[in-house]
Amino acid sequence: MIKRPSWAALLLALIPFAAMCFSVALWDRVQPVLLGLPFNLFWLIGWIVLTTICMWLAYRLETRAGGRRLDTAGRMPTPQAGRMRAPQGRNQPDDSSR
Amino acid sequence: MSSSSVALTIIFVIIAAGACLGFLAGARRKLNLEQWTVGGRGFGVLLVYLLMAGEVYTTFSFLGASGWAYSRGGPALYIMAYLTLAYVVSFFILPPIWELGRRHGLQTESDFFARRYGSNYLAAFVSLTGMAFLVPYVQLQFTGLGIIVEVASFDGIRRTPAMVIAVSIVAAFVLASGVRAVAWVSVLKDSLMVLAALAIGIGVPYAHFGGIGKMFAALAHTRPAHLTMPGATPNLGHAWYISAVLLTSLGFYMWPHSFAATFTARSGDIIRRNAVVMPLYTLTLAFVFFAGFSAVVALPGLANGDMALLTIVRSTFPAWFLGVIGGAGALTAMVPAAIFTLTAATLFAKNFYRPLFAPAMTDDQVARLARLMVVVLSLIGLFFAIYSSTTLVSLLLLGYAGVGQFFPGVVLGLYWKRATLSGVFTGLVAGVGAVAVLGLTKHDPMFGLNAGFVALCLNFLLAVGVSLVPLGRTRRAPGG
C-alpha cells in the first residue's frame, strides 16, 4: 500500500551519500585551500548545495511518477477515504482546524 | 551598568519575548490531545518548516558543534555531513509515514509501531526507549543554558540556579500551549540564531586574524593535524566518520519528536519539499565551525570545549552583543527542550501507561498525565545536567545510538511486507541492549566504529533474519 520510490530517485539520493560519507578518505585533507577554506570543509559546503540539486531532481521525478500512478491505478486513496481507527481506538483526528 | 548586567538583561528580554510569543500562540485554542501533540494536523509548509528547523538547531549545533571543532577538530565535520544526509533519508521515509498517520490517526512513533506490528508491548518498549534516550538530549539543552548564563554573567551567576529558572520557564510554556507554541517561538529563535551564527562566524575570525582564510592559514600553521581526522582525538578516524554519519543520518528522523512532527503537516508533498530545501540550512553550521576553529588559536587551553564559542564572543564583542548571542542561545536550548519533554511525556502517557496499565483512561486523562510527566522529565533532565559533565556532542551521540535502533523497524515496516513482529522486536531489543552494554563498558568507539552503528547492524541482521524464519501463528502481515 506504500508507493515505492523509483530507482532513479534512489540513485540520485545515493550520490550525496557517496560524496559526503563513503569517500571521506579521498577528500579529508587541508590542501588545496580553496576560497580560504581547507579542502575538506570546502568539499562538504559544496556538497550541501549539490545535495539540494540532487533532491530537487528526485522530487521532480517522484512527483511526476506519483501523479501518473495515481491516475492509472488509483493506488493512493484520498486521506479521508482511507482513514481507519487508531490503535487505541479513542483518537479520532480533530477536524475542527481544517 | 556593568557588562554582565547588560548582557544578562538582554538575554532575559529575549527569553521573555519568546515566552510571551509561546503563550499567545496557544491562548485561543481548545487544547485537546490532538491539538497539543500534533497541532490538529493543519500545519502548512511554513509552520512544518519552522517546527522541524526548531527541533534541529539546538544547543548542540550552537555550542556543541563549535565545542567539538575546538576540542576535537576534524571529526566535528561529521555534523555537517549527517545533517545534510538526514534530509535525503527523510525524502523517502517521511511521506509514507505521514500517509499512514493520516489514514490511521497516528500521533506518535509508538502508534506507528503498534499499528504496523499489531503489538502494544512493542509500542510500549519503543516508548520507554525513546523516552530514555530523549533524557540525554534534554540534559544537553539544560547544560547549554547553564553555560550561557555562566559566561554571560562573567561567572557571576552559578550554573545551577540559572538552569533551575530556565527549566521552570520551559515547563510552563509546554504546559500552557503545546506544540503550536513551540512552532511559533521557533520563528524568533531561528532568525536570531542564523543572524548570530553569521555574525560570529565572520566577526570572530576578522577580529582576531583579519579574515576567515587567514584564520585557517594560522590554524594550519600552528596545529597542522587539527583540521583533518582524527584531529585531536586518538581514535575518531575515517571508519568512525562513516559509521557515525550513517548512524546519525538514518537515526535523525527516528527521534520521537521528529517522527511526530511529520504528523503536523497538511500534506505529504509539504514534507517532500521540506526535504529538498532543508539541507541549505546546514550551511549555517559552517559559520559556527569558523568560530570554534578561531578559538583553537586565539584562546587555547580552555578546559571545557563547549564554552569556547561564548568565551570567544565575550572576548571579541561588546557586552550587549554577548547578550544577544546569549539570548539566541538560550531560546535555542529552550525551544527544543520544550519539544523533547512534550514528546517524551506523550509517549509515556499514551503509549506506555494507558495500553499496559489503564486501558480505560480517556484522552483527557492521558493529556493530564502527560502534563504531569512534562514536569517529571524536566526534573530528571535537570538532575543529570547538574551532576554530569559529558561533552554536548557525546550526549547527542548517546541519544542517537539509542533511537537509531528504531530505523530497521520503521523502514522494513514501510517497505518490506515480510517484516514480522518477532523479527523487529528481537532486533530492537538486541540493538538497544548492545548500545547499553557497549556504552557502559566504554567500548565506544569499537574497532574504530561508532558503537551505535555496530548495534544497528546487529539489529538489522536479526530483524531480517528472524522475520524470514517461519514461526507459524506469531507471524503477522498486517499493515495499515
Query: In order along chain A (98 residues), what is the average pLDDT of each group of 10 residues?
Result: 79 93 90 90 94 93 62 38 39 40
pLDDT at B180: 66
| Residue predicted with more confidence, B117 or B42 | B117
Q: Do B213 and A35 touch (CB under 8 A)?
A: yes
pLDDT at B247: 93
Say which residue the cell 554582565 belongs to. Answer: B4
pLDDT at A70: 42
Mean pLDDT of chain B: 84
Domain that holds residue B390: 3-401
From chain A, pick out residues whose CB is under 8 angstroms from the CB of B217.
33, 36
Point out the residue among A25, A29, A94 whose CB comes nearest to the CB of B40.
A94
Domain-embedded: residue B459: no
pLDDT at B177: 64
**Does the pLDDT value for residue B273 go beyond 50?**
yes
Domain count for chain B: 1
Domain-embedded: residue B446: no
Domain-embedded: residue B344: yes
**Number of residues written out for chain B:** 480
pLDDT at B32: 58
Domain-embedded: residue B366: yes
**Does the pLDDT value for residue B452 go beyond 80?**
yes
Domain-embedded: residue B479: no
pLDDT confidence of B472, banded at 50, 70, 90? low
pLDDT at A2: 66
Give dist(CA A88, CA B98) in Å, integer: 18
Q: Does A61 touch chain B (CB under 8 A)?
A: no
What is the residue-wise DSSP string for B249-305?
HHHGGGSHHHHHHHTTBS-HHHHHHHHHHGGGGGHHHHHHHHHHHHHHHHSTT-S-G
pLDDT at B27: 58
| Mean pLDDT calculated for residue range B443-466 | 87
Range name among A57-71, B75-89, B288-302, B383-397 with the lowest pLDDT average: A57-71
CA distance B264 to chain A (A): 11
Q: Do A86 and B104 touch (CB under 8 A)?
A: yes
Here the CATH number for the domain that contains residue B234 is: 1.20.1730.10
Q: Provide ipTM, 2 decimals.
A: 0.85
User: A61: nearest CA in chain B?
Assistant: B272
Query: Mind listing the pLDDT tens digit for each residue in B213-250?
Result: 999 999 988 888 898 888 888 888 899 999 999 999 99
**Does the pLDDT value for residue B315 go beyond 60?**
yes
Q: Do A25 and B81 touch (CB under 8 A)?
A: no
Q: What is the amino acid identity at position B159?
A: R
pLDDT confidence of B299, banded at 50, 70, 90? confident
Query: Mind listing the pLDDT tens digit for each residue in B155-177?
Result: 777 778 888 877 887 787 777 76
Give Cβ neighbours of residue B76 (< 8 Å, ≥ 6 apart).
B65, B68, B69, B231, B289, B292, B393
CA distance A39 to chain B (A): 10
Compute φ and ψ for B471, nearest 5 degrees: -120, 20
Domain-embedded: residue B480: no
pLDDT at A77: 39
CA distance A73 to chain B (A): 17
Q: What percent of chain B has pLDDT over 70?
A: 89
CA distance B245 to chain A (A): 7
pLDDT at B405: 94
